[in-house]
Amino acid sequence: MQIPSTFGIQKSNISRKFIRASAKRLKAFQDRDLSSHEILVIFMDGKNFAENKMIIALGVTLSGQKIDLGAIESSTENVVAYLPKGEQNRFRKKLQKAYEQKEYGQAKQKLSEIRKALQLINESAVVSLDEGLEDTLTLHRLGLFEQLGLSLKTTNCIESLNSQLEQYTRRVSYWKNSNQRQRWVATALLEIEPSLRKVKGFKFLPMLKNNMNNFDQNKNQRKAA
């Protein structure tokens, strides 16, 4: 509905008001104190805004609560992105099958087989796989893949967040600058956060924390020996 000019409301005035309001939201988002939250898990994923990409970070507390940690403009690289488009889906399925293995040894064996196949296609993809290999098998190494794998083995949590973020930003047809992107993202994340559900299997998170502590202690003892 078009507002008659007699009401004295102009589009430019509304725009300026939103800029001021969203600038305050951005500052509040960047300055808020998260020290009271015990963050146990961090998800990170990229979202495109025209030719730019923003990396969104989502934290999961010990109680399973999801907390927006921040957003920064950057770029992401992964194994599949280095491959020809005709090969991407095939290797994506291979990687998913490998990570679905319940035992650490089985998962690592599958990934080693994928690594050999990647060497014939793209060396950069091999390097990318090597860089994050052990980190991606953390749940396997800690013996909690069956309990928490459904929630933590993929980026579904943050992909769901990005999907909700899209509902706020999709109507913007032109992104002028970095500040505009930051303001919109911060404003949207603050609106979305209260409605985020706890991760599935959150009751096992204290066990995850305990296993992580034990793993670190054993690692330090091995170093000292």
pLDDT of residue 7: 44
pLDDT of residue 2: 41
pLDDT of residue 164: 93
Q: What pTM was estimated for this model as a whole?
A: 0.66
pLDDT of residue 26: 93
DSSP string over 57-94: EEEEETTS-EEEEEEEE-----TGGGS-HHHHHHHHHH
Average pLDDT along the chain, 225 residues, taken 10 residues at a time: 44 78 93 92 84 86 94 72 88 88 89 93 89 79 75 79 91 86 93 92 89 79 73
* Coil, strand or helix at 39: strand
Q: For residue 57, give the nearest of 150, 132, 165 by alpha carbon.
A: 165
pLDDT of residue 195: 93
Q: For residue 85, give the nearest of 121, 49, 112 by alpha carbon.
A: 121
